Structure 1
Amino acid sequence: MMTAIKDRVRSFIVDNFLFGDTSYKLSDSASLIENDIIDSTAVLELVAFIEDNFGIAMVDADIVPSNLDSLDRISSFIEARAQTLAA
């Protein structure tokens, strides 16, 4: 399931923040903030995408780099939250 989540998030990031530039090699662990891929406005778009596509309601405490700064971190956050919702 983690791969499917990561693929959906990667597609969203490439389409919305890299403007479809598939030549950019976005590694799973690369910092989206340090590599200037997302800014504060993009974070809000990412949060809306996660909420809309994965049925997760995010609170302010969730919107931190430790959850949203790389594909690995985003996927892990979504996976953990999905398991909590399923329990």
Structure 2
Amino acid sequence: MLLVREPLETYRRQVRDFLLSNFYISEANSLEVDTSLLDQGIIDSTGVLEVIGFIEETFGITVEDSELLPENLDSIEGIARFVMSKKS
């Protein structure tokens, strides 16, 4: 049986919705897929843990310590690509 992979855009949308629902973002329209969540002060170290919990719960994957890298967790695009790579 072939599994149909969800498109990257679906992951982006789910991550963006989570961020908008759980973190203070003064201008939702300014949250682009490549916005640095840490540099912009959207999430801090505790926020990273919340994002990891969201990823594991929502997408059914485990984030390993070795995967706690900025390229995986610092932007909507990075998170979406990380989830896609783990699910494939």
What are the ranges of 5 or more consecutive residues in structure 2 without an aligned counterpart?
A: 1-6
Q: How many residues align?
A: 82
TM-score between both structures, scaled by the size of structure 2: 0.86
1:57-68 superposed matches below 5 A: 57-68=62-73
**C-alpha displacement at 1:23, in angstroms?**
3.8
Q: Structure 1 residues 47-56 or 21-30, which shifts more?
A: 21-30
What are the ranges of 5 or more consecutive residues in structure 1 without an aligned counterpart?
A: none
TM-score between both structures, scaled by the size of structure 1: 0.87
**C-alpha displacement at 1:9, in angstroms?**
0.4
Structure 1 stretches of at least 4 aligned residues deviating more than 4 Å after TM superposition: none
Name the aligned partner's letter for residue 80 of structure 1.
S
Name the aligned partner's letter for residue 43 of structure 1.
V
The Cα RMSD (Å) is: 1.4
**C-alpha displacement at 1:24, in angstroms?**
4.6
2 CA distance for matches of 1:23 and 1:51?
24
Name the aligned partner's letter for residue 10 of structure 1.
R
Deviations 1:2-48 (CA, angstroms, capped at 9, x unpaired): 111110000000110126x5645201111000000010000000000
